[in-house]
Amino acid sequence: MQEPLLGSTVALVLVTTLLAALVAYIVVRCVYGAKMTTRRRRHTLLLLGPCGSGKTTLFAQLVARKRISARTSMQPNRAVMRFKADAASDDEEGPQTSPGACMTVVDFPGHRRLRCSIDQELEEAKKVVIVVDSVTIQDPQGGAEALAELVVSVFTSPAFYFVEGVLVACTKRDELTSYSAKSVQKLLEKEITHHIITRRGDVQSIGDIVNAEGVAVGRRKNNGSSLGKTAKRHQLSLNDSGKFTFDTFPLPVDFVDISSFPEPEKHPFNVDPVREFASR
């Protein structure tokens, strides 16, 4: 009579052990699966900017080396940009581009209604290019003020935290009425400073500010992002002089002069600075 009882006990122990192992496996998969979702592999060059800033024209030059007449789109454009092999010798310092190297470029629409979808693209972005129309930067509607709002929204997003580099590409520098990259930087820093001071009582942090529509910029809804409320995010702060400067931002931000219509015989501007930034 004891043998059947012993067999039942052994079977119960085995079933219990298997169930415990299964539960442990599920828990581990959930925990590490969530972490893997949060830290997606970043592999894209993301072009951001207001409507009409020249993103799609730049996109066409980067991926196809062609001039196009761009139209406003409500869908992101995606294509592969291939780098030319670096002709520098092995003794030369600095990174070199290997033959066949490439990178996916994403041209994200600048329409305000699509801002809630930026985080999904930011989670895959290795580097970000902010495209600025250097001709209309002083425009009261879509100029430095609108650009500052976009920059604040992007830079303080948790999805932006692990981006490796930022480039502000000042387009249309081949036009006589355009502003230089240095001038654009000063105008943008001034507007971000104004944005911080006027949108929040505590001028040292931008975590709780809201934009013109009353939508929270620093601490906002998830908007489809896999990142939770406790995710890391950068803070935009003012220096001792009460001003914001990109020099104090945790991530290096470079400003460059470019033109998506390269004509060496007429002007010195092209998209090479963007290619070099992407290949670094």
CB contact at 8 A, 274 and 239? no
Residue 249: the pLDDT is 92
Tell me the one-letter amino acid at 274.
V
Token match 């001039």: residue?
67
CATH 3.40.50.300 fits 42-86+99-279, yes or no: yes
Share the mean pLDDT of the chain: 81
Rounded to two decimals, the pTM is 0.74
- 150 phi-psi bin (left φ>0, alpha ψ -120 to 50, beta other): alpha
Residue 24: the pLDDT is 73
Burial class (CB in 10 A: 0-12, 13-18, 19+), 141: exposed
CA distances from 239 to 116, 207, 210, 243, 252 (A): 30, 16, 21, 5, 16
Burial class (CB in 10 A: 0-12, 13-18, 19+), 176: exposed
Give the list of residues 6+ apart from residue 102 with CB closer than 8 angstroms, or none.
80, 81, 82, 83
Taking 50 as the pLDDT cut, the residues of the chain under it are: 34-38, 87-92, 94, 202-222
Rounded Cα gap, residues 71 and 164, in angstroms: 30
DSSP H helices in 43-139? 55-64, 118-122
